[in-house]
Amino acid sequence: MTKATGQGTRPSSAEQGAATRKAILTATAALIGEVGWGQVTMRAIAARAGVPHGAISYHFQGKDDLLRQAAIAGTLQALAEPLAMAQAAGDVREMFEGTLGWFAGGGLEDPSVALLLETVRQSSRDPSLREPLATEMRRFRAALTELVRRDQEQGAITADPPASGTATVVAALLDGLLLHLILDPELDLQGAAEAVRTLLRGG
């Protein structure tokens, strides 16, 4: 129980390197969300991460390599929270309304949302980016499917269509509302929520 990777006071060279790497990745992910994939510059990354120019070239192959790695790491981390919430939620409705609440509470301004959108957009030009994202999305839909199934068993949701179909619909609906909210903050979320409640209940 006394294990310590740092083994004492001074950080080893390798540990320092890992920290630098992580700082660069974090700064890059943040900048992608803030200024957009194509507007990110190495200079800005270095400044944000607080590391010298050369450190980036030393740790990463090039700009493309860096953006890719940062985007993947960043989005996976961003998706971890919603996934955990979905797995922890008691039923679909709780999960749905929770997410809507997060939207309404300013979740849209979360940097992760911007990063996510940038990455999705870029992934249609770079297959190596799409794969990990798609995997995570499937995981999310799987968790939702589980919720739906439970609700169906309890009669809270119409059991007719396969649970996976309903899960896909709920997941897509949430992301679609996010998209519409970005464009139009005045969007009537309450009305949409009420409609969903009714529809899920089965009229």
Given DNA, its own copies, none, residue 43, with its beta carbon under 5 to 8 Å by kind, binds DNA
53 forms part of the interface with its own copies (CB under 8 A):
no
Q: How far apart are CA 76 and CA 23, in angstroms?
A: 17
Given its own copies, DNA, none, residue 52, with its beta carbon under 5 to 8 Å by kind, binds DNA
- Helix H or strand E segment including 55: helix 53-59
- Quick one: 22 or 201, whose CB is closer to its own copies? 201
Residue reference for tokens 């800005």? 44
- Enumerate residues 43-102 that contact DNA by CB under 7 A: 43, 51-59, 62-64
Amino acid residing at 83: L
Q: How far apart are CA 2 and CA 9, in angstroms?
A: 15
- Enumerate residues 6-25 that contact DNA by CB under 7 A: 10, 12-14, 16-17, 20
Angle at 23 between CA 51 and CA 13, to 5 degrees: 75
Given its own copies, DNA, none, residue 16, with its beta carbon under 5 to 8 Å by kind, binds DNA
Amino acid residing at 78: A
- Quick one: 65 or 188, whose CB is closer to DNA? 65
Name the residue among 90, 114, 145 with its Cα closest to residue 40.
114
172 forms part of the interface with its own copies (CB under 8 A):
yes
35 forms part of the interface with its own copies (CB under 8 A):
yes
- Enumerate residues 89-148 that contact its own copies by CB under 8 A: 114, 117-118, 120-125, 130, 133-134, 137-138
Given its own copies, DNA, none, residue 58, with its beta carbon under 5 to 8 Å by kind, binds DNA
| Beta carbon of residue 9, minimum distance to its own copies (angstroms, whole number) | 25
171 forms part of the interface with its own copies (CB under 8 A):
yes
- Quick one: 6 or 203, whose CB is closer to its own copies? 203
Near DNA by CB under 7 A, which window of 38-46, 120-128, 132-140, 176-184?
38-46
C-alpha distances out from residue 124 to 10, 55, 104, 131, 177, Å: 44, 30, 29, 10, 21
Instruction: At 136, list the tokens.
Output: 């995570």
- What residues have CB less than 8 Å from 120, skipping those under 6 apart? 133
